[in-house]
Structure 1
């Protein structure tokens, strides 16, 4: 399975890139929100994409497809979308026409009005997204979509979020309570350096 491509951009069309890796050209589907983040990339530029593989079932055959993201967090979030009942890769791709953080925030806030306006979603799938993922995607809501050069920063912030959430649940808070407290803390902290920093902000806010 191909989980990452690092090579040279050969060509690009809206939502579709060809990347040369060691003399082989890989065709990659790129969600619209990701495509916008890579707007400055031109043929001949170095390019790294984190990829997810799936088989697109046509009436007579199965077509292998690679989907590309600029960092692991986007790839993780796409995988979360695929856990929603009756929501396959095609619809998940259309959902990614808006930034990951906006979709995740709408899910966490239970904002079905926003979600049902996304391409391919509608009322029932908006309810399914909230029912399946609410309380599980707060860290994605807090990560501003950013170029791959900043992927390490996003990963560090995500790890801090996970560690702080674990600490809060061990102290007796529910997962949902921990996520809400950390979302408030992240809004104040921006990009935290550690779980300890996040926890200090959480308890400072509680003592106000």
Structure 2
């Protein structure tokens, strides 16, 4: 069976611009043409097919006779290393139009689930963080990265491929307080057992209390310390409704206490 390899392969027809061929593929599959933004949510968001080739940073996936080249973050690729040629594989994908000086280069980036994709999109909001740099940054499990960001662990971030001191600062400045929900992926906290809600916790806050407590335990706080901080925020900020806001307020109170001390 003949295959067309996309987006990067010598089998691409000569004289056809990448964006032209991509638009044709999109039109054939019922998607809309490219917009003005680098990321287009109307483009291919999921691929399901047979694995043709597994490389260091990318895979070739055969979907209906078309071979799609998909870049994979190292942290995600580690979970695919046992796959064999011909195995069925499904990836959640992010379409990105990489803008170079003289051309627009379309690429696909693949993930195991939508949560990983969402976290990657957060990385792309960091100033001067393109898809290749974000692929390098996503070299550790999502939960470890989120924990490092929330704890301002610049040393950990600088250990990632392509991340220097300034980029580590930019990541923390942009994402701290916004990635608590991603702590569930890949972390190995010392204490993660379910915590029974205490009678002193208001009924409407019990689920939020447990979620916030688990997040802080995943960040490395001691149980008693985490319990106290979550309770303080819920007592003083009765309108908080999300675990992300809860963790952000915990950090805000910590910084305020430190400045007073």
String of CA shifts for 1:10-32, please: whole Å, max 9, x gaps: 11111111111112111111111
RMSD: 2.8
Specify every segment of 5 or more residues in structure 1 that has no aligned partner in the other structure, as ranges: 146-166, 188-201
Q: Distance in 2 between matches of 1:132 and 1:38?
A: 30
Aligned mates of 1:7, 1:104 — CA distance in 2: 31
Superposition pairs of residues 27-106 of structure 1, within 5 angstroms: 27-106=69-148
Q: Distance in 1 between matches of 2:158 and 2:134?
A: 13
Q: Structure 1 length as normaliser, TM-score?
A: 0.70
**Does structure 2 retain, via aligned residues, the 8 Å contact 1:135–1:179?**
no
After TM superposition, the score normalised by the length of structure 2 is: 0.57
Distance 1:185 1:103 in 2: 15
Cα deviation, residue 181, structure 1 = 3.3
Q: How many angstroms apart in 2 are the aligned matches of 1:23 and 1:30?
A: 21
Change (3 A) 1:109 1:179: farther
Q: Which has the higher contact order (CA 8 A, sep 6+)?
A: 1
Q: Which residue of 2 aligns with 1:184?
A: 216
Deviation, structure 1 residue 180: 5.0
Q: Is the 8 A contact 1:18 1:25 kept in 2?
A: yes
How far off is 1:182 after superposition?
4.3
CA contact (8 A) 2:45 2:94 kept: yes
Aligned residues between the structures: 165
Does the Cα contact within 8 Å between 2:147 and 2:183 map onto a contact in 1?
Answer: yes
Residue 37 of structure 1: SS of its match in structure 2? Answer: coil
Structure with the larger helix share: 1
Q: In terms of Rg, which structure is larger? A: 2
